[in-house]
Structure 1
Amino acid sequence: MEPRLSKRSAALAAGALVLLCTLFMLGRPGSTAEHDAYRTQLRQLRVATAELELDVLRQRVGMREAHGSTRDDFDALEARARMLRAMPGFLPDEGMRSLTASLDAYLRVLEGSRVLLTTAREKDEQFAALREAFPKSVFAAAATLPPGALRDQVETLGGDVLTASRLHGKDFGSRVEASLARLDQARQGQRLSTDAFAALHVLVTQARELTVLLRSADASFQTLLDHSASNEAERLITTYLQLQEQSQSRAERTRIVLFGVSFLLVLYVLVVLVRLARASAALGELNRGLEARVAERTQALSAASAEARASDARKAAILEASPDGIVVLDEAGRVVEFNPSAEGHFRLTSARAVGADFLALALPASLPAAQRDSVHAALQKDTGPAARVESPCLRADGGVFPAELTFARVHGEGPPRTTVFVRDLTERKTVERMKNEFVSTVSHELRTPLTSIRGSLGLLEGGIVGDLPTQALDMVRIARTNTERLIRLINEILDLEKMESGMLELKLQPQTAEDLVESTLLGVQGMADTAHVTLRSDVEGTPQVKGDRDRLIQVLTNLVSNAVKFSPQGGSVVVASSVAADGRVRFSVTDQGPGIPEEKLSRLFGRFQQLDASDTRSKGGTGLGLAISQAIVEQHGGRIEVVSRPGHGATFHFSLESLRAPAPSPGAVSPVPRDESRHNVLIVTADADLSALLRGLLSHEGYRVVRAATLAEAVQAVDTALPDALVVDTQMPDGHVLDWVRRLRELPRTRELPVLALSGRATDGTAGVGTPLLVDWLPRPVDETRLLKTLRYAMRQPGQARVLVVDDDATTRRVLCAQFERLGALCIEAADGESAVALARDTPPDLIVLDVGLPRLDGFEVVDILRQGKGRATPLIVFTGRELSRTDQRQLTLGITRHLTKARSSEEELVNSVRELLNGLLARRDVAATEPRKALP
């Protein structure tokens, strides 16, 4: 049954409705008394103004004033008008401004009337005084005149002035003017004495002045009547009544609206009261239910309180027994609580720890500033999830242990607190180290059988056991390809493990940015050509860094190869280097690929990370290249960063500390830049075209080329840094080159320096100068093939022609060495890639015969490494059992290169290739063994 509204509530609602209706029906806009009082004041002002003007008129006509028209009366009117500035409050601001303007106009007119009245009264007083003195002037003038018409006219003038009415200024003026005219006519033709003339002049002047005074007074009075203040008072009343009527109309409309709103409000109140009545009944029922539940809850709370006490005891036990140290800090970073595990970690009692600064207590003094700042930043973090950092921590006994610090800011009653969870990572670090050693060991153990498997598969693929069926050959090729991929993956994992364990040793030497960029582009040119991508170098100035050349080239090669992979055909990749504003050398690789989404940038440098886009997955890769590159750059003190927008390519860049070269003294010649990874050739010629030709030819073959445009520059360059070879033009404008060469031969330091002379013919100006001074004469125009061959022979170590045979199969090596030794060559054997690289660096060979499938480092890696050093111009025969694609052939290229397949190339073809590439060395082996280096043609 629904509850009903009580009679009292209904009566209250109905009474409120009736009261509101009555108020709005009987209400009036503003206060009626205030309106009546103000209107009465306005009317009184109008009446007083009219009475004042009437008294002024009475006084003018000579009647008795009823109220008065003195200055005090005007002041009283002004005071009344100023009192009217206190206007009724119901008038709007605009109405008050309009009414104020009317009051100001009334006051201005009132003030003008007072001034005019004063002026008129002053003129009247002057008129009266002058008129009273006028008879004397008449008598004085008549006394000076003889009897006659003139004298009679003077008396007539006096009578007109005295008898004319002052109240009729116009009549007075006309009569006086007429008398003066007659006086002038009577005076015509008469001879007057001086006294008579003076008396007549005074009389006429006074008469005219009386006329002017009376007219001026009349004009002032007329102006006063024309601009009556009572008219302004009437206008003021009219303005107020109009404003009051407008205000009343607005109030009436507002009253109607308020009445409607109030009516709706009362209806709403009635509805609320009905609902409240219903709610009251429901609340009554609810209260009865709550009473029963309160009793139940009271009993439950008693049980919960006992359980909470037990829970607090358990929490305290957990805090005491926690294996992690728990430290509570106040807002200043001082220790407030220190649990037993923290005491064990830091070897410090809680009593000594409480009150101490946590960072000073926990962090060792030797901690790097950057790591200390990261811990401090984690402590200061106020919002978000808990901050977790790893940092060495200091024990009270001076020992240091690795720890994981988790900072959690707790906000509650009172000042904020920070809880620090300290976890000792000593055991975990030990396990990680054991894991890394295990991975390294397993990787090494896996690589040996995988190499054998790859070699066997390569032999099978090459047809060593005969031709295989097509399906079997496809299966072997698939197995060999995946084996090579697995070997590369293991090598990359080993590199990462070495870097993370700190076992990777960097050979830090001064490096020029230009050389690093140039070497990188030479290494990936074949890959770019296959992908139809253009490589461009943009090196500003000659910046230098100190770093491991091979590792930095590995980083740049990785970045450039990735850029080539993801660039469209016809696109370009720019490798740039410049000195940044902070003085560091900045390297960048920019491509025109599809770009990288922002949400995926953080995944780029993780292990085994590949972007999920389908075109990215189609590019292949292990996902370790960028992680390895990041680790290498970090060990050099930098960090790789990437800037990319989808659809606009990407730019990978990193910065290294600049190695500043000492400033040269004034007038000094820049030294020949040394590059231990390449042969340095100094070209001495004044011919710019010849220099450009030689630079392009030799740079393409891997030589480092420096030009001296004058003989003086050449002398300075050789004295500063000895090149590996000289190419001199005998036609220098500033001296005799051959004399300088002769002096070089006399010095122990430059006695063995190879010199190639460029001349029109071999006897031009060289009488007495022969082979003991020069390695070879080269006629101009230069024969490029002969120049390159002569340089290679000149810079090799003297002795028998050396052939490096690299194959993991001992039988194959023995067979090949026997064949080459019959040609007169000295064979050096290498069974794996690392040995091949070491032997090629220690004893540079004249020819390399290389198998691709090698243990430790495969043929591709061997070629990549040699291409980054002085071995980049070494002739190469790739003798392998696998079929090489065009891309493989481009990657397996050093100097003059031949690609032969074991299953398809005959023994004769191999021997002929060796004889061709060792052309000249085999025929000269006996001479080379006996003659000194300088006599080498």
Structure 2
Amino acid sequence: MEPRLSKRSAALAAGALVLLCALFILGRPGSTADHDHYRTQLRQLRVATSELEQDVLRQRVGMAQLHGSSDRDFEALAARARQLRSAPGFLPAEGMRSLNASLDTYLRVLDGSRAILAAAREKEQQLAALREAYPGVVAATAAALPQGAPRAHVEAMDVDVLLASRAPGEASGARVEDSLARLARAREQQPLPAPALAALDTLEARTRELMALQRATDASFQALLDHGATGEAERLITTYLQLQEQSQSRAERTRIVLFGVCLLLVVYVLVVLVRLARASAALGELNRELEARVAERTQALSAASAEARASDARKAAILEASPDGIVVLDESGRVAEFNPAAVSHFRLPSARAVGADFLSLALPATLPASQREAVHAALLQENGAARLESPCLRADGDVFPAELTFARVHADGPPRTTVFVRDLTERKAVERMKNEFISTVSHELRTPLTSIRGSLGLLENGIVGELPSQALDMVRIARTNTERLIRLINDILDLEKMESGMLELKLQPQTAQDLVEATLAGVQGMAETAHVTLRSDVEGAPQVKGDRDRLIQVLTNLVSNAIKFSPQGASVVVAAGFTADGRVRFSVTDQGSGIPEEKLPRLFGRFQQLDASDTRSKGGTGLGLAISQAIVEQHGGRIDVSSPPGQGATFHFTLEALRVAAPGATAVLPTDESRHNVLIVTADADLSTLLRGLLSHEGYRVVRAATLTEAVQAVEHALPDALVVDMQMPDGPVLDWVRRLREQPRTRELPVLALAGRSYAGAKDAGTALLVDWLPTPVDETRLLKTLRYAMRQPGQARVLVVDDDATTRRVLCAQFERLGALCIEAADGESAVALARDTPPDLIVLDVGLPRLDGFEVVDILRQGKGRATPLIVFTGRELSRTDQRQLTLGITRHLTKARASEEELVASVRELLNGLLARRDAAAEPRKALP
């Protein structure tokens, strides 16, 4: 092998020398012929430029031109300069840019010289015309002057101006100025007639115009000489020579560098060849060792193959024993493998499943398109694992809840997707049991607590007489701790609902000012007890879309915490305003001792008390901030806190600002009708539309009569429950018709509401005794509904139907309502409630949902079919109602209150509001009925 390696070494060395020569040749400078030719062109350009400028001067002094200085000569010179942009190839790009920049400068100067020359020639033509006309002006002026000094000066001025135009210069100009001055003095010394003075003025103006044009022409030619293109041509030649010299220097350096590189290359190749020669002997030995190792590895691979087969058997056993269904899909989403658990889940043999489309096999046809698209997107996900819950279809048609986990597997061959299917039937059953337990706790625990709180509140308010001071303190303590226990249960249930995603928010437009004021009004008593001042700072009029009660709950938690940890005499500031990014920021700032930095991370945890020696004495369950954070997060925000040491704390959160909708949007009115019939008599279509929408929304069946004739026929055909009559009818006096109705026994008690454009006092004289009420137009909607309600109810004391299966709760509620002056009717189940509502229509229903026989939903559905549809309703239950539940539990004006969350004052205020004036009547008959004859 040594001789063969030596020949190779020689060949590589020779190749390196050849490469050296080639590089040396490539490193030579460019051709000198190109350089000489380009330099000659530059010199010719300079000579041509100089000759053109000489011809310009020759023409100026009146000599004959040798080559010409017309526009065509300028254009030829510019074309020759543009041809010079193709410089020799040995110049670098930077040099070409510099040379082209010099050529651009030359062309600009050349264009400027041509423009100056054109302007100068135009001025020479004007000057020649003035020179030709000037002697005539002088002669005319001399003829207009009498004999004397002015005339002599005028005749002498012709000679001065002629000399100045023939030999321009500063001296000639000064001589003309002296002549003008002498003429001016002569004019002053010798009185002249007006024509002579006018002629002198004309002569002076023509003289000054000729001299000014002479100076302008001289200045143009002087500028042509000072800024000629010959200098730029010289600089162009100098720039090229400098660039050519720099190029030669670079080429020389490059050759030297290439020569050194080639030498190093030859040395390197020789060293490598020597090392190869030394290693060739070792290669033979390594080859023999490699053969031995290959034999050993072959034996090891045989053993590994046996172990791999055993591993595959174990994996197959795990796959078959897995409790989760494992489905392997190919790149098109079809089933490639189907383990026994999947067979059990889908109740489909593996042979039928393999090759089928997974989405068609697993998803029911009734699955909403949005969920189907979510499953398809998870199937197509490339990176990571996607997990979601979806109903799945069994082969026998049953649907079961499942958790699907999609994992894309990249291995040899096309990518595949593994789907892990977990049957959630048992988990869902456990969740249902958990929800039922929560519902039981909500109803069976919070309902008696509400009764206890109400009873203690009645005792505290003196329903059984004034209590001794010690007994009153005990009652107050019991009520306070009962409320504390109710709050704890509410907080625990709220957290449970938030974590399970069952908390529904009533998102409505809210103003920050309203939220802050409502919060401060609720905690004002607590602040006064703690001797803490509350201040609000709302900038602008920010609005958000959120659940009013929940947002007030968040602010109340934050403000109550700030009050508890503020010293006496301090102030708590509740602020709201826009942030720089357009969101709405709420903040609560106190003047307490602040929160240590190390305790901030666990501030929003469950049952967290920062300091047992302090916060325990302040009270609280430790759930307020956790609940507040959950509520804010469901609104799309997050609570943060900042607390500089010893400077108090500021809790703040931000929500999306509400963009106010365009005016004119209206809510869709319900289309279902009730059994209360109201006849509207009006010829005004707009008024009819307004009343129909308003009354239909409140549950009345509305019939319209456009004329009195139609109204008479409608009343004769079917007697309505009430009449709403427009007094401005075109076909007759309305009061006469109403008077006739009062004379008939069938329509004597029919309530009539009159709509008039006059005031009530003015309409009273027109026959008020025949009517239930006068309503001015435009119609006051609240007054109209209130009057209709009073007109169609039975006379007597305000009646409240209390429906609750807990006797204690009924007694407590009735005691509170009777103190308001209402008559309470009790019902312990749904059937009794329906019967009582039909027998004696109440003015208000207070309804629990969890009732025996008929539950609250069924009671509302039955009442909605009859005249009870417009009855005001307070749903007072221990159950948390979803939005769907609240929509179903609606009659007339409806309030939804939770027993454990609503205070006694809130319930009483709702009752007083919905009875809407009936409490003042007590046992008296309804006043609209008194007005009937």
The alignment's TM-score, normalised by the length of structure 1, stands at 0.45
Q: TM-score, normalised by structure 2?
A: 0.45
